[in-house]
Amino acid sequence: MIPKPRSFGAGYEMLSLESMHEMWSLSSRRSRLAFACVASFLLALAATASSRGGGSGIVGRPLKTCEAILDDLDEEYDERRENRHKRRRGWRGVKVMFDLYEPEATCFREERFGASDSGERFDAYGDGPKFVCGVDLIAAKAKDGNADGCLVYSVGSNNDVQFEKAVHTHMGCEIHTFDPTLNKPFIGGMYSTFHPWGLGTDGGNEGRAANGRKDNWIRKSFETVINDLGHVNRTIDILKIDCEGCEYAAMPPLFDLISSGNARVNQIQIEMHARGTSPRSAKMIYDFFLAADRAKFRIIHKERNNWGCNGHRCVEYVFVSESFLRYVNGNVVCPEIGDI
């Protein structure tokens, strides 16, 4: 269960130099940096207002509680999503299949994550790293001795284990990597547990087989994987998935599990693929995002894959659950929550 961020107090607080100093003393180093920027901006506005005859300006005015600010953000994010629902478009061609699905929310602690050979946390460039929300908060689950720790699934590998290495080094999470296509030894054993399974439906033919290429892969649904690995009562903190088209078979049932309370996932980094050039493909994409909406996920990031797919047929998305996004943003808006 994700703890709900606490508010500064009941009703409203007065923004004064004394309250700023108290908030500063209670905040972590990272929160102080964010708070310093906000405080400087507010003081500058106050000085401007005073110079124009506005009295005390912003200083002394009621300031919304943390909960009220987060509620306002959720309301705006909901409005953006509802607007997308109203603007469903008909078939207009493969190049614009993903144009309707833009980021509708913001994670205040988002970073590109997945170390290069240097091993440094912020040295994350190229095709391998992903945008992750709340890295420090996830890592805290492992550092604080949480019984479950943090849990990461990485679907699709091709023996590129830079992301797994970064998670192991900077977050300390339990990691599981899935790839039925690997025909040589997995090189990431020191970071992750490997499973030669494809994701889709139990015994299905998603991926290559669906495109007429025969294989003898073992395919499992997420429900089966979660049960087989003993993760039924655990939260998947990060689900990174690039399975070359299996997402349309594997993900909607997972979204249904999440909607019914039978699975917990905090965020999803996924590469989506335009399968074919027909209205049916556009309908598959629409249904995918609708299932994510029902499971209460928000789109926080989007980037087209410029390394392949003609620049428009493959798109990287990041989805974050509403509850986890509120928790992460609350740790920025409400610095008194404590160090992370």
Residues 118-131 have pLDDT tens digits of 778 888 777 778 99
Mean pLDDT rounded to a whole number for the chain: 79
Region 272-297: what's the mean pLDDT?
A: 87
Q: What is the CATH number of the domain that holds 179?
A: 3.40.50
Residue 50 has pLDDT above 70, yes or no: no
Is residue 75 in a domain?
no
C-alpha closest to that of 318 among 26, 144, 104, 25: 104
pLDDT at res. 294: 97
Q: How far apart are the first and last CA of the chain?
A: 17
| Tokens encoding 247 | 């997402």
pLDDT at res. 55: 44
Residue 265 has pLDDT above 50, yes or no: yes
Region 154-173: what's the mean pLDDT?
A: 92
Residue 27 has pLDDT above 70, yes or no: no
Q: Give the span between the Cα atoms of 150 and 153, in whole angstroms.
A: 10
Question: Could you tell me what percent of the chain has a pLDDT over 70?
Answer: 70
Lowest-pLDDT range, 30-34, 72-76, 232-236?
Answer: 30-34
C-alpha closest to that of 14 among 37, 46, 51: 46
pLDDT at res. 32: 55
**H-run or E-run covering 195:** strand 193-195
pLDDT at res. 127: 72
Is residue 118 in a domain?
yes
pLDDT at res. 308: 64
Q: Please give the backbone phi and psi of residue 180, each rounded to the nearest 5 degrees, phi first.
A: -85, -10
* Per-residue pLDDT tens digits for 201-251: 887 776 554 445 566 788 999 999 999 999 999 999 999 998 877 899 999
Is residue 292 in a domain?
yes
> Hey, which of 108-122, 239-253, 288-302 has the most confident mean pLDDT?
288-302
Q: Around Cβ 323, how many Cβ atoms within 10 Å?
A: 14
* Per-residue pLDDT tens digits for 319-329: 999 999 999 99
Is residue 169 in a domain?
yes
DSSP state for residue 112 in the 8-state scheme = E
pLDDT at res. 306: 66
Count of domains in the chain? 1
pLDDT at res. 323: 97
pLDDT at res. 35: 52
Region 146-175: what's the mean pLDDT?
A: 90
pLDDT at res. 228: 97
Is residue 8 in a domain?
no
Give the amino acid at 166: A
Region 91-107: what's the mean pLDDT?
A: 83
Region 195-204: what's the mean pLDDT?
A: 88
Question: In terms of residue numbers, what domain contains 128?
Answer: 89-328
DSSP string, 46-85: HHHHHHTT-TTTTTTSEE--HHHHHHHHHHHHHHHHHHHH
Length of the chain as a residue count: 340
pLDDT at res. 164: 93
Residue 285 has pLDDT above 50, yes or no: yes
pLDDT at res. 111: 95
Is residue 46 in a domain?
no
Contact assessment for residue 121 and residue 30, using Cβ atoms and an 8 Å cutoff? no
pLDDT at res. 190: 95
Contact assessment for residue 70 and residue 5, using Cβ atoms and an 8 Å cutoff? yes
